[in-house]
Amino acid sequence: MDFTGASICKESPDSPLPKTWDILLPNQAEYVSRIAVDIGGSLAKLVYFSRDPATSSTTGGRLNFTKFETEKIHECIDFIAKLISARKLAGNKDKEEVVIKATGGGAHKHYKMFKEYLPEVRVEKEDEMNCLITGGNFLISKIPYEVFTYSDKDPMRFEEPPENIFPYMLVNIGSGVSILKVTGTDKFERISGTPLGGGTLWGLLSLLTSANSFDEMLDMSKHGDNKNVDMLVGDIYGTDYTKIGLASSVTASSMGKVFREEIKHKTEGIRSEDIARSVLLMISNNIGQIAYLNAQAHGLKRLYFGGYFIRGHSITMNTLSYAIDYWSKGTIKALFLRHEGYLGAVGAFLEGCINKK
């Protein structure tokens, strides 16, 4: 594939799919019929190539990104079937066989279903971690304005990739969390992880609130105040604990106020928005601290956070950034990617069509 001149698509104001961040490939001559899907425990992420419908040119196109809930995997399969049918109706002249590059745990679990409902398509399973690293390396090194830092005061400050991107640490936050040390194009190892990830947030808030989707939970957290349910340093000391550098606003115990009688018997009850904010901060802070400890143990200075848990959510990114900055005393920055949730799917799409060397 020809990635020269690749850039992130500027969205149309009336786009029905905000923040999809398609990647334009202006010099790609051949049509690419492969479709990639990364099926995790919570979401199935899809990447596919298309020509620009606004032009009749046979050169150029874009990588498209979309997602489905894994428990509704049939919707993903239906989408792929319609995509293939639309290509046939459009009279696509390319004779390349349609191949689905499938990765993630669901590539094994749902393999028979894909073969049953898409019998004319070849389904190839790709290793999950290999795809994750291939996708990460590609996005970090090849796509302009992909990597950025985040803070409330300076959101989305874009980073130029270093001449040599290795070594780095990738913290992939999906249903759970995997932490990988990447030292070369095909050299990596999983050095740590935690089961407290996006699936934890989704599960707990499904039990504790009325939210019906992950996005609804994240939106709910924006309107919450964790101080109403979290026990802060100030609740214990009445002020800052300056001797060890703890401000009164620092959380001492997540959800630590809920057991108190004055909280349990509030006439208006405990707000779901406050619970959502507390749980999101609890999980994000935990991931941030574990990430820092692993970076310190392995002498790594570049930390990338990926996975669909992040979703470009300001509170999540700010919390992770603050945690890394706090624990590293400002020596390490948290780095984010605009295609954070699609690393595995991008890697699967690229398998066999790029020269990694």
| 11 — pLDDT class (breaks 50, 70, 90) | low
- pLDDT attached to residue 269: 73
- pLDDT attached to residue 16: 40
pLDDT for residue 177 is more than 60: yes
Distance CA 335, CA 300 (A): 13
- The model's pLDDT over 14-68, given as tens digits with 9 standing for 90+, comes to 444 335 589 999 999 988 889 999 999 889 999 999 987 666 667 889 999 999 9
Higher pLDDT, 90 or 235: 235
Q: Which residues pair with 36 in a beta bridge?
A: 47, 101
Please state whether beta strands 61-69 and 43-50 pair in parallel, antiparallel, or not at all (unpaired): antiparallel
Please list the alpha-helical segments (H only) found in the chain. 73-89, 106-109, 111-117, 128-142, 198-208, 214-222, 233-237, 261-264, 272-298, 314-327, 343-350
Average pLDDT of every residue of the chain:
90
Is residue 296 helix, strand or coil? helix
The H-or-E segment that residue 193 falls in is strand 187-194
For residues 150-156, average pLDDT: 91
- pLDDT attached to residue 52: 73
For residues 274-287, average pLDDT: 97
Higher pLDDT, 20 or 127: 127
pLDDT for residue 283 is more than 60: yes
CB 344 within 8 A of CB 44: no
- pLDDT attached to residue 55: 61
- The model's pLDDT over 88-122, given as tens digits with 9 standing for 90+, comes to 776 655 556 789 999 999 999 999 999 999 999 99
- The model's pLDDT over 248-272, given as tens digits with 9 standing for 90+, comes to 999 999 999 988 766 666 646 789 9
Torsional class of 269: left (φ above 0), alpha (ψ -120 to 50), beta (otherwise): left
Distance CA 3, CA 189 (A): 28
CA-to-CA dists, residue 76 to 40, 70, 83, 133, angstroms: 13, 8, 11, 24
- pLDDT attached to residue 307: 94
The token pair at 94 is 């390319």
Which are the contacts of 70, defined by CB distance < 8 A and separation ≥ 6?
A: 39, 40, 41, 42, 43, 44, 106
pLDDT for residue 348 is more than 90: yes
pLDDT > 90 in the chain, percent? 77
Burial (CB count <10 Å: 0-12, 13-18, 19+), residue 104: buried
pLDDT for residue 13 is more than 60: no
